[in-house]
Amino acid sequence: MAIPDQVVQKVAESKFLTVLTGAGISAESGVPTFRGQDGLWKNYRAEELATPEAFQKDPKLVWEWYDWRRGIVGDANPNPGHEAISRLEKSAPNFYLITQNVDGLHERAGSCKIVELHGNIWKMRCVKEGTIKTDLTVPLENLPPHCECGALLRPHIVWFGESLWPDSIETAFLVAEECDCMLVVGTSAVVQPAASLPLVTKRAGGFVVEINAEPTPISDMTDSSILGKSGEILPELEYLVSKRK
């Protein structure tokens, strides 16, 4: 789908550009999305595994799921969509990337100003001490992993029913309110509070553009909804914007 000229113009003249991403941006890197057909693991949905209750009941099962995903993410590389976002950051006067993804691919593509709303798949947290460590081992030995203190380690990730970390959610809402243009990329926009961020931008008078493979519940409130693959649309948008500046 062609990129409307108004979108190119708004991004080019933006004084504060924000990008909100979801699992769809990493789909072209081979990382499964949550709500697509490929989002299932052993017939479990994310909602059945990404909860404190699931971890309490069967930590080994939950860790097996994360170990499987760490394997996929470890083999994946940033795609042209991640790279275009990184270039947009470098050319924007003011920029923030808010990602719901835990795969770390934005950072690997060179993005710097990032808030990882839902955590990071390479980090683990002691359930007793709250200490956080990074562990890049794939596959993990002896599931579930334990802290040196003897307590269980859990993924340093925000599960359903858990509050987001105050620092990251405060930054995200502030950025959503202050930016004049937001690109919403590859998210089904059903998980709160992330799904509210484009509405915050819209209500504050900002221009909101959605780039997604299919329409979502927020499509109607956006200023422009571009249907297609982010790995194709974002590089084209970034190229057109760079020519306009």
Catalog residues that contact ligand BJW under the rule CB under 6 A: 22-24, 27-28, 33-36, 39, 46, 50, 100, 102, 118, 157-158, 160-164, 186-188, 190-193, 212-214, 216, 229-231
Question: What Å distances lie between residue 148 and 61, 84, 99, 155, CA to CA?
Answer: 21, 41, 31, 16
Task: Point out the catalytic residue in the list 82, 118, 146, 156.
Answer: 118
Taking the complex as a whole, the smallest distance from the CB of residue 224 to ligand BJW amounts, in Å, to 15
Q: Report the amino acid identity of residue 190.
A: V
Residue of minimal Cβ distance to ligand BJW: 24
Q: Which residue, 78 or 186, is less far from ligand BJW as judged by CB? A: 186
Instruction: Give the whole-angstrom CA distance, residue 129 versus residue 126.
Output: 5
Q: Which residue, 34 or 122, is less far from ligand BJW as judged by CB? A: 34
Q: Which residue, 92 or 117, is less far from ligand BJW as judged by CB? A: 117
Taking the complex as a whole, the smallest distance from the CB of residue 208 to ligand BJW amounts, in Å, to 16
- Exposure string over 64-87, b if 16+ CB within 10 A, otherwise e: bbbbebbebbeebebbbbbbbbbb
Name the residue with tokens 């509050």: 163
Instruction: Give the whole-angstrom CA distance, residue 228 versus residue 157.
Output: 29
Q: Which residue, 16 or 123, is less far from ligand BJW as judged by CB? A: 123
Taking the complex as a whole, the smallest distance from the CB of residue 133 to ligand BJW amounts, in Å, to 17
Taking the complex as a whole, the smallest distance from the CB of residue 128 to ligand BJW amounts, in Å, to 21
Is 118 assigned a catalytic role? Answer: yes
Q: Which residue, 155 or 206, is less far from ligand BJW as judged by CB? A: 155
Instruction: Give the whole-angstrom CA distance, residue 96 versus residue 73.
Output: 23
Taking the complex as a whole, the smallest distance from the CB of residue 6 to ligand BJW amounts, in Å, to 20
Known catalytic residues? Answer: 118
